[in-house]
């Protein structure tokens, strides 16, 4: 029998990858070796055969270049670059190209059995760009509800076959010069991927966020080919780094999740609640760790107005200068309001601060925590009585949490209008 190398390095300091922790087969990650790599220790193991990764997607996965051939396949695609990163880490890996140009989830449905035949350890899935593209009638090629259903179907079928899953959002569009394909069209599909990853507890690489984060000068075109749709080698490098970070930080596989994790709130007090205090005038952090655990972390929203900027709730800016600097929604009753922040791993949490914007009035806020989505306990409730203020929610003792959920309703109890500027999470010193 051959040997399979796999690894589980300790976390390293690097830019946020927007990725949820991958769950990899514990039997596959066993023995330990140390390798210096960007301040990280790599943990290596021996098992049967090379690590096999199936890349399932559209032309971005395929390795599209202007010639129409696989010009990036053997040099600059994320698959090749990921393989090189794994090789440098001492990992024997085989990456299968399951990308088809022009593909949508509807078309890919017929190809899912091909993944099972390959029997990979992990499947990396990225669809959305073609799905959201408008046809001649102005409608998306794949309606959003169909996209969600098919994507979740892929995830469940793979998990049933004991195949690990990494979901990825599509990269953003660097310009809005193609009317049929804009970020406004793409964003609902990005949100759908994020939600599917959270609800199914599979790992996640947020390419949409990572590309925007990397373009500090707002020049996204440097990561794309001239067609302003497909990433160039620099863009593919960002994708490869996101996947590598997920594999690097991986621990147990999805089917070990329940066994290895304690119940939500097991270290909390009897009722799990502590009343919030309006701490607008009190900024004393004595006894608290100074680091904001939520800074630049990935989050999901129930709904928001289209002119909101991405990532504003965890960007470190407490005061919103304009509506684009705050998370806000319309007045419609069609928008239940909540925000779910993923801290990236289980942490000791003892305080949550929520800042509101300058443009809105009274709001009722409740804060909840969980080790996994859907199993929340309440930290406390409070009311914003004035604009540009904050609410501080404190627990008597720290609790173990990965997810922080903020629920908002207006002063009359209707879950509609809402505006937040920032959310901060702190642990005990």
Question: Domains in the chain, ordered, with CATH?
Answer: 4-258 (3.40.50.1110), 262-426 (2.60.120.260)
> What does the pLDDT read at residue 287?
52
| C-alpha–C-alpha distance, residues 409 and 303, integer Å | 13
- Residue 56: predicted pLDDT: 97
Q: What is the mean pLDDT of the chain?
A: 74
Q: How confident is the model at residue 17 (pLDDT cuts 50, 70, 90)?
A: very low
Residue 258 has a pLDDT of 31
pLDDT on residue 155: 96
Cα–Cα distance measured from residue 236 to residue 70, given in angstroms and rounded to the nearest whole number: 14
Higher pLDDT, 360 or 19: 360
Rounded mean pLDDT, 264-286? 34
- Residue 38, pLDDT above cutoff 60: no
For 98-134, write each residue's pLDDT tens digit: 999 999 999 999 999 999 999 999 999 999 999 999 9
Phi, psi of 366 (to 5 degrees): -130, 145
Mean pLDDT along residues 80-88: 93
pLDDT of residue 54: 96
Flag whether pLDDT at 27 surpasses 50.
no
The helix (run of H) or strand (run of E) holding residue 18 is none
| Cβ neighbours for 139, distance < 8 A, ≥ 6 positions apart | none
For residues 28 and 253, what is the distance between their CA atoms, to the nearest angstrom? Answer: 9
pLDDT in tens, 365-381: 789 999 887 788 888 88
Residue pair 6/26 in contact by the 8 Å Cβ criterion = no
Q: Where does the pLDDT of residue 412 fall: very low under 50, low under 70, confident under 90, or very high at 90 and above? A: very low
- φ/ψ of 333, rounded to 5, equals -70, -5
Which position has the token pair 């890349």? Answer: 55
Percentage of residues in the chain with pLDDT exceeding 90? 37
The Cα–Cα gap between 336 and 63 comes to 40
Query: Are the CB atoms for 202 and 154 separated by under 8 Å?
Result: no
Determine the pLDDT at residue 323: 65
| Residue matched to tokens 């040997």 | 3
196-242: pLDDT as tens digits: 988 888 888 989 988 988 887 778 999 998 888 999 999 999 999 99
Strand partners, 347: 401
pLDDT over threshold 90, residue 161: yes
């Amino acid at each position: 029998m051959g040997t399979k190398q796999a690894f589980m390095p300790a976390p390293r300091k690097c830019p946020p990858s927007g990725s949820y922790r991958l769950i990899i087969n514990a039997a596959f990650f066993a023995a330990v070796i140390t390798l210096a790599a960007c301040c990280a220790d790599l943990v290596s193991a021996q098992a049967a055969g090379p690590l096999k990764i199936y890349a399932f997607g559209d032309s971005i996965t395929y390795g599209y270049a202007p010639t129409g051939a696989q010009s990036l396949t053997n040099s600059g695609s994320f698959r090749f670059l990921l393989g090189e990163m794994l090789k440098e880490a001492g990992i024997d890996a085989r990456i299968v190209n399951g990308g088809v140009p022009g593909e949508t989830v509807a078309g890919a449905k017929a190809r899912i059995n091909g993944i099972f035949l390959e029997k990979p350890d992990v499947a990396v899935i990225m669809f959305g760009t073609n799905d959201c593209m408008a046809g001649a009638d102005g409608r998306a090629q794949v309606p959003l509800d169909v996209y969600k259903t098919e994507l979740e179907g892929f995830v469940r079928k793979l998990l049933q076959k004991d195949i690990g899953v990494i979901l990825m959002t599509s990269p953003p569009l660097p310009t809005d010069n193609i009317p049929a394909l804009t970020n406004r069209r793409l964003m609902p599909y990005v949100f759908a991927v994020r939600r599917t990853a959270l609800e199914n507890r599979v790992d996640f690489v947020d390419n949409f966020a990572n590309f925007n984060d990397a373009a500090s000068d707002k020049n996204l075109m440097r990561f794309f080919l001239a067609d302003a749709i497909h990433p160039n080698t620099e863009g593919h490098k960002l994708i490869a780094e996101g996947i590598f970070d997920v594999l690097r930080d991986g621990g147990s596989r999805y089917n070990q999740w329940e066994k290895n994790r304690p119940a939500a709130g097991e270290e909390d007090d009897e009722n799990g609640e502590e009343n919030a205090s309006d701490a607008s005038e009190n900024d004393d952090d004595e006894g608290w760790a100074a680091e904001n655990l939520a800074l630049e972390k990935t989050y999901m929203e129930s709904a928001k107005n289209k002119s909101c900027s991405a990532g504003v709730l965890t960007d470190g800016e407490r005061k919103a200068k304009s509506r684009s600097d705050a998370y806000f929604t319309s007045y419609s009753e069609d928008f239940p309001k909540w925000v779910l922040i993923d801290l990236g791993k289980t942490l000791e949490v003892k305080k949550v601060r929520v800042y509101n914007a300058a443009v809105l009035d009274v709001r009722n806020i409740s804060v909840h925590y969980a080790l996994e989505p859907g199993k929340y306990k309440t930290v406390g409730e409070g009311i914003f009585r004035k604009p540009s203020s904050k609410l501080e929610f404190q627990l008597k003792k720290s609790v173990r949490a990965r997810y922080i959920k903020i629920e908002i309703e207006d002063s009359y109890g209707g879950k509609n209008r809402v505006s937040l500027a920032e959310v901060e999470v702190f642990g005990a010193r």
